[in-house]
Amino acid sequence: MHVAAIKTIRKQSPFRVMPGFNLSLGFTLFYLGLIVLIPLSAVFLKTFTMTWDAFWTAVTSERVVASYKLSFGASLIGASLNVLFGGIVAWVLVRYSFPGKKIVDALVDLPFALPTAVAGIALTALYSSNGWLGRYLEPLGIKVAFTPLGVVIALTFIGLPFVVRTVQPVLEDAERELEEAAASLGATHFQTFSRVVFPTILPALLTGFALAFARATGEYGSVIFIAGNMPMVSEITPLFIITKLEQYDYAGATAIAVVMLTASFVLLLVINMLQARARKRGQSKV
C-alpha cells in the first residue's frame, strides 16, 4: 500500500494504544502532584512559618555552610569522575568482547541493588586504617575513612550506574560507519573520537552527570559510616537535616532542605539546558 494512503487512513481513524490526550494529561498531572508537588509544597509551607531572620540564621550558620560545601562539592567531584570512568566502562562493555563480560555488566548495577547502609559499611571496612586498602594507603599519607575523600568515594560508588546505563545504549546505537569513514579520510584516533564519537554521546554524558549528581546530593546511608560525621570537616547536609529533625526543629530542617532543593534545581536546570544545546548541535551537524 502506498505511504500516502496509509497516512490518510491514520488521519481518518487514528489509533492510539494509550487513552486520549486529555485523560492522559490529567492522570499525569494528578500523579505528579500527588507524588512530587504536594510533598515539596509541604516543605516550603513549613519553611514559611519562620521569620526571615530565623530562616537566614538557620541556613547560613558556619556549620551548615560547611556541610553545603562538602555535599555539593563532593557530589560534583563524584559525578565528574563517573562521567570520565563511567564513559570508559560503557565503551568497553559496548565495543569489546572478553571473558566475564556479563559479570562485569551485572556488577555495574550493584550500587542499585545494594542497600546504601551496607555499601557504607563495606566502604568503611575497606578504607579504614586497618581495612584491606586503608592499611596500605595511610602509610602513604592518604587517609580515606572519616574524611571528605571518603565522602567523594562513596558518592562516586553510588553514581556510577547512572552514567554507564545512560551512555551504553547511545554507544550501541551509534553508527560505526561514520568512524570508519573518518578513519578512511585520514583522521587520527583522537580526531575521530573528539569530532565523531564525543558529540554523539555528549547529551547522554550530561544526562548521566545530572542523574549521578542529583542522586549524590541526597545520599545518606552510604556516606554516614565512611564520613565520620565530624562537624566542619566531614558532616554532610542530609545528616544535618536528620539531626535537626531529631531535635524537633522541623522548621530548621525544612529551611536547609529548601536551600538544597533550590540549589540542586538550578544546577540541574543549567545541565539540562547544556544537554539540549548539545543535542541541537548534533542534529544540525547531521
Domains of the chain: 52-285 (1.10.3720.10)
256 or 6, higher pLDDT: 256
pTM metric for this prediction: 0.83
Residue 13 has pLDDT above 70, yes or no: no
Residue 286: pLDDT band (50, 70, 90) is low
pLDDT attached to residue 228: 83
Q: How far apart are the first and last CA of the chain?
A: 30
Condensed to tens digits (0 to 9), the pLDDT of residues 112-157 reads 888 888 888 889 889 988 888 989 998 888 999 889 999 999 999 9
Rounded distance between C-alpha atoms, residue 112 and residue 160, angstroms: 10
pLDDT above 50 (res 1): no
CA pair distance 56, 54, nearest whole angstrom: 6
d(C-alpha 181, C-alpha 242), whole Å: 56
